[in-house]
Each structure stands twice: as C-alpha cells, then as structure tokens.
Structure 1
Amino acid sequence: MRELATLVLDAVDHKAAEAFPGLVVRKDLLRRVRSAYGVPMFVIEFLLGKYCASTDPDVIEEGLQFVRDTLRSKYVKPDERELVKARIKQQTTFEIIDQVKVRLVETHDKYWAEMANINLDYVNIEESDIRKHERSVQGGV
C-alpha cells in the first residue's frame, strides 16, 4: 500500500513539519480516513497529528494503519452501542473514543459524565480525574 509515496512534499511542507512537530496534518490523509469512518473531524486530526506527523512515507503508512485500527476498535457505531455497554459491564474497563461532558450534581456531591455515543448520562467520575482533566467540566472533551 505505497499510495502515500505519490504525494510530493515541497520545501514549505518540510519546513512546517520541522517547525511544528506533531501539529502538521496532511489533509489528503484526513479526507481519506474521514470518508471511511463516521468520526468527527477533530478526532481524526488528533490521531493523525499524533501518529502520522512525519515526512517519512514509511512512518506515515505505519501511523495510518494504527489510526485505522484504533478507529475500528475504539469508535462506537450506533448499532454497536449495546454491545459496547455489555463489554464495559463485563470487563469493568473498556477503551472507547467518545465525547465526554461532565457536570457536578451538588445534591449528590458527585461528578457525572454524559457519553453521547453509548447513550449514558450518569457515569460517575472521580474528583481526582476532574483535577487531571479540567476541560471535561468546561464543555466536554
């Protein structure tokens, strides 16, 4: 699968990748992955930035395969929602990609998360996790 080698990067592309390591995302990769998975764009950009931010075609190819595998195994499709919830119950931990919004319910003195893809509104979140990820109570992550 050497289709990535056909794209020629110019001097500006190389300079941008060197100046901003891990932040330059090739839009052709973004479009290719976006069309194959119904995942929000920011999720794909994050994964591509983390695993495909290189000018080396071999590194990009390996990273692209990792991104595809990650999306295939961790992004919950609507028709798999109940299966994933069953796996979470059985295994107690299960990694998924989802948007998480957290709120403090004062009457319970607890933080509760809403996870859209698996349709759960009351997932208890430890206060220590809120301290580590403050953005979760600022509109979601």
Structure 2
Amino acid sequence: MRQELHSLHVSTRGKGLVPIDRAVLDWVAGTGIETGLLTLWCRHTSASLCVQENADPTVRVDIERYFETLVPEQPGRYIHDDEGPDDMPAHLRAMLTNTQLSIPVSGGCPVLGLWQGLYLFEHRSRPHRREIVLHLIGT
C-alpha cells in the first residue's frame, strides 16, 4: 500500500464553478497508483468541491443561479459581514455543498462517469487563490 499527498492551487475569478479535473487526473496518473481511493479536501470555509456534469456549460450556469437564489446577498440579512456582503452567504453555500470528496481510482484514473467533472465551487465575489489537498492511497 502506498500513499501520495499533493496540494493543488486554483485561482478563481470570483463566484462560480472552476473545472479542476484535468489537474487532478494528471496528478493521479503521475503517482503510478493503479487502484485506490482519492480524497480531495478544500482548505477553505467559503469555497467547496463538487462532481457535476461537464458536457453542457448551461448546467453550471443554472447551478450558480440557483445558489444566488437559495442564499442571496442582501444587506442587513446576516450579522457576519466582516469581509463584505458576500462573506456569510459564502460560508452558508460552502456548508450546503461539500468541502471533501472521495473517489475510487481504477486503472490509474479516478472513476468518474462519462459526463462527470470535478469542480471547485468559489462562493466569494472577488478572485481568490484556493488550495485543494489531494490524498491518494492504494497500490
């Protein structure tokens, strides 16, 4: 049994789903581990991770719009606004989504469905540099 650990740094332009699958797939392939379990961990409380459709970009648009409706930025609605009006909504959106993913690895590749991609979901309005820790254990 082997383990590998890596930090992936992702620059965002503000709110939205940022594809990260190419970087993750390349790193997994480079480890030489054929069969195992990949864990992705987002080290932030205002961003998250998700597996979502990667074929039709309108899916991402609809998801982003849905979260704007579900957790709106409204002045006076939240007590916590230390970093601006998107501060508390970003924390709530991260809480409603995932900060960790576990994905099986087979044949040296994460086992994703035909239309599945990996995304960092940025919940803040301003650009950020996010860190995702990748841990792979297997043979």
TM-score norm. by structure 2 comes to 0.25
Name the structure with the higher strand share.
2
TM-score norm. by structure 1 comes to 0.24
